[in-house]
């Protein structure tokens, strides 16, 4: 029995060891799925789900003892800094935005005042009047930089996906060509092309469908030393009525430098848009779909990992200087001094996920968090597209933490009402929800795993995030949260300047992941009688002023016909 239960897990792990044997990997995958279905029919799955945490990867070991002088030395997420660079910032420099309009206006304002760099990474740039307004802002800033008495230092770097950015006659490329032609020395447009779309497959798959093979999905918007981390694309609905999540990191030069280097690294392994709308590779770089796939992926892995490792080394040196010198100031003293930065109380860890290049840091951290979730912990998940991998599903059903999952109702799914096959996508997600919740009910876990749907008239829903929170015996809250292709983790000692806070007293620590591959860990130690504020997950942000319905409205959950939260 134990061997039967562990078999699918063993095979899924074996798949990762067979990158060059797709036929065997597919066969093992089918056998694994078949064994899962057979076990479901026999109704004997429940006891073995408790083995999921034991079969998942162990928590990465800290290679050096925690520093007793460092405030973050006491938080339980410090092992993440062994994987990625650790950035310390003041929570007063962190702000969560709550609406698409606020996101759009902030971006325009930041572009207009940028003096040195504008770096934007997104899936695509839309073609409507709002997107043109954004391009016009960039053009105006470049014009002003040329009119200055000194030589211009303003550089603009834009990273988009090749297939999505090339869709249609009027597309992201045609929107940006005027900038490239007018400012060829200052503007760079990179178009990432997945190495998996090549050969006969590339010739046969039509537009739109070719985007299912693989995409560039980083969303970061950077202006001089300030950064907006989001899941929003550069399209009109994301500026008006498509709810997403956005965190603004103001005057954080080390973080801005890192993301500039990361976007440039991905840009270096991408196709470069030319003024005549042609594309070409950086000299010496393997072509993503014409060159050898293995050679390209290895070169891309090295280019990206060099950035991560260099930043880790740099931040370790800065860490030593910051916490092992007498120059550290409190926020109040720093404000009075004016010439030195306030003490960091929030730590940010960028988690990178680029599976074609065998970079799976976000996956490692997420699985570790879910594996370590214990009784008494609460995990909040929010996604516009509910489709858990089997590994994550086993962890959700096999651990003892409480899960609160927020999904998009079919009406706020971005594909609702679409023509053709795309119009059936919302119903497909409802079917996946139904299957998942049926399994929850068959295991008697509907009190521990709760599902809700987001709904708002005239809006769509695109927020993705995860938060782990645990109440301590000291009256504090431990929280860790992440959200979906560029995610932050942060740790904060004092109150981050973020809307919709959890108030707590005593010792607090936690992490907040508001979007894809980046993590923010937050740790707080309050003075006697002082209330601390820790950030809620993106879940709290997207619910502000909106409506969330229990899945009873779908008709496949027990209880009243409709229940509003």
Residues 6 or more apart whose Cβ sits within 8 Å of residue 282: 268, 269, 272
Q: Is 329 helix (H, G, I), strand (E, B) or coil?
A: coil
Domain final residue, candidates 323, 352, 379: 323
How high is the pLDDT of residue 324? 57
What CATH number is associated with residue 217? 3.30.870.10
| 565 lies in some domain | no
Whether 64 contacts 78, CB under 8 Å: no
Rounded Cα gap, residues 424 and 212, in angstroms: 16
Summarize pLDDT for 136-152 with one digit per residue, the tens: 999 999 999 988 755 66
Q: What is the DSSP letter of 64?
A: S
Please state the rounded mean pLDDT for residues 85-97: 89
Alpha helices in 485-550 (DSSP H): 538-543
Q: What is the DSSP letter of 499?
A: S
228 and 362 in a single domain? The answer is no
Summarize pLDDT for 278-327 with one digit per residue, the tens: 999 999 999 999 999 999 999 999 999 999 999 999 998 887 776 655 55
Question: Residue 277's closest CA among 135, 166, 122, 185?
Answer: 166
CB count within 10 Å of CB 183 equals 19
Rounded Cα gap, residues 558 and 150, in angstroms: 70
The Cα angle at residue 199 between residues 198 and 203, in degrees rounded to 5: 90
- Tell me the HSE value of 174 on the side-chain side, using a 13 A CA sphere: 9
109 and 235 in a single domain? The answer is yes
157 and 125 in a single domain? The answer is yes
Question: Residue 108's closest CA among 140, 154, 65?
Answer: 140
219 and 168 in a single domain? The answer is yes
Residue predicted with more confidence, 259 or 515: 259
298 and 352 in a single domain? The answer is no
100 and 169 in a single domain? The answer is yes
392 and 453 in a single domain? The answer is yes
| 468 lies in some domain | yes
pLDDT bucket at 47, cuts 50 / 70 / 90: very low
Give 139-178 as a DSSP string.
HHHHHHHHHSSSPP--EEEEEEEHHHHT-SSS-HHHHHHH
* Block residue for tokens 């990867």: 57
Residues 6 or more apart whose Cβ sits within 8 Å of residue 261: 307, 310, 311
Number of domains in the chain: 2
85 and 115 in a single domain? The answer is no
387 and 469 in a single domain? The answer is yes
Q: Report how many helices (DSSP H) and strands (DSSP E) the chain contains, helices first.
A: 17, 26
Structural domain boundaries, residue 223: 91-323
Res 105 pLDDT > 50: yes
- Gyration radius of the chain over CA positions: 24
How high is the pLDDT of residue 336? 57
Q: Which residues are catalytic?
A: 217, 219, 224
| 43 lies in some domain | no
Q: How far is CA 285 from CA 162, 163, 199, 290, 372, in A?
A: 17, 20, 19, 11, 41
| 1 lies in some domain | no
Residues found in the chain: 565
| 506 lies in some domain | yes
How high is the pLDDT of residue 277? 97
Question: Residue 55's closest CA among 2, 111, 10?
Answer: 10
Res 235 pLDDT > 90: yes
Residues 6 or more apart whose Cβ sits within 8 Å of residue 239: 100, 101, 103, 104, 130
Q: Distance between terminal CA atoms of the chain?
A: 42
Please state the rounded mean pLDDT for residues 351-356: 92
């Amino acid at each position: 029995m134990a061997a039967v239960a562990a078999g699918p897990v063993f095979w899924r792990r074996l798949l990762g060891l067979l990158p060059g044997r797709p036929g065997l990997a597919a066969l093992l995958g089918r056998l694994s799925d078949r064994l899962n279905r057979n076990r479901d029919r026999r109704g004997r799955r429940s006891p073995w789900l408790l083995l999921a945490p034991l079969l998942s990867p162990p928590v990465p070991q800290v290679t050096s003892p925690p520093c007793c002088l460092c405030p973050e030395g006491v938080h339980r997420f410090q092992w993440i800094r062994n994987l990625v660079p650790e950035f310390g910032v003041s929570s007063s420099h962190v702000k969560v935005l709550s609406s698409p309009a606020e996101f759009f206006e902030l971006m325009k304002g930041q572009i207009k005042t940028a003096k040195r760099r504008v770096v934007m990474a997104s899936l695509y740039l839309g073609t409507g009047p709002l997107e043109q307004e954004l391009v016009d802002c960039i053009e105006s800033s470049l014009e002003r930089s040329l009119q200055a008495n000194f030589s211009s230092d303003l550089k603009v770097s834009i990273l988009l996906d090749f297939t999505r950015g090339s869709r249609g006659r009027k597309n992201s490329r045609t929107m940006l060509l005027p900038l490239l032609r007018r400012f060829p020395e200052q503007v760079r447009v990179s178009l990432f092309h997945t190495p998996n779309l090549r050969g006969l497959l590339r010739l046969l798959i039509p537009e739109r469908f070719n985007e299912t093979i693989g995409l560039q999905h980083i969303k970061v918007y950077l202006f001089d030393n300030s950064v907006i981390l989001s899941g929003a694309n550069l399209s009109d609905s994301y500026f008006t009525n498509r709810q997403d999540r956005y965190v603004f990191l103001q005057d954080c030069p080390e973080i801005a430098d890192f993301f500039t280097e990361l976007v440039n690294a991905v840009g270096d392994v991408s196709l470069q848009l030319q003024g005549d709308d042609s594309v070409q590779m950086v000299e010496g770089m393997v072509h993503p779909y014409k060159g050898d796939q293995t050679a390209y992926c290895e070169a891309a892995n090295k280019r990206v990992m060099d950035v991560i490792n260099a930043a880790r080394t740099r931040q370790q040196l800065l860490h030593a200087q910051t916490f092992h010198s007498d120059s550290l100031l409190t926020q109040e003293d720093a404000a009075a001094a004016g010439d030195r930065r306030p003490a960091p109380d929030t730590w940010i860890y960028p988690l990178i996920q680029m599976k074609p290049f065998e970079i799976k840091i976000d996956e490692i951290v997420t699985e570790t968090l879910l594996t370590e979730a214990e009784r008494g912990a609460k995990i909040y998940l929010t996604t516009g597209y509910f489709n858990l991998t089997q590994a994550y599903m086993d962890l959700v059903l096999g651990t003892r933490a409480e899960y609160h999952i927020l999904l998009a109702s079919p009406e706020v799914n971005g594909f609702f009402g679409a023509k053709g096959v795309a119009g059936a996508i919302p119903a497909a997600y409802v079917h996946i929800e139904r299957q998942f919740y049926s399994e929850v009910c068959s295991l008697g876990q509907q009190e521990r795993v709760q599902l809700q749907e987001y709904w708002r008239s005239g809006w769509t829903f695109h927020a993705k995030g995860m938060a782990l929170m645990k109440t301590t015996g000291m009256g504090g809250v431990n929280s860790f949260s992440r959200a979906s292709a560029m995610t932050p983790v942060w740790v904060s000692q004092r109150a981050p300047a973020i809307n919709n806070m959890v108030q707590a007293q005593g010792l607090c620590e936690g992490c907040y992941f508001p979007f894809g591959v980046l993590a923010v860990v937050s740790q707080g130690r309050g003075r006697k009688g002082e209330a601390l504020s820790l950030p809620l997950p993106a879940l709290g942000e997207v619910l502000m002023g909106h409506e969330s319905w229990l899945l009873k409205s779908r008709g496949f959950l027990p209880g009243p016909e409709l229940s509003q939260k």
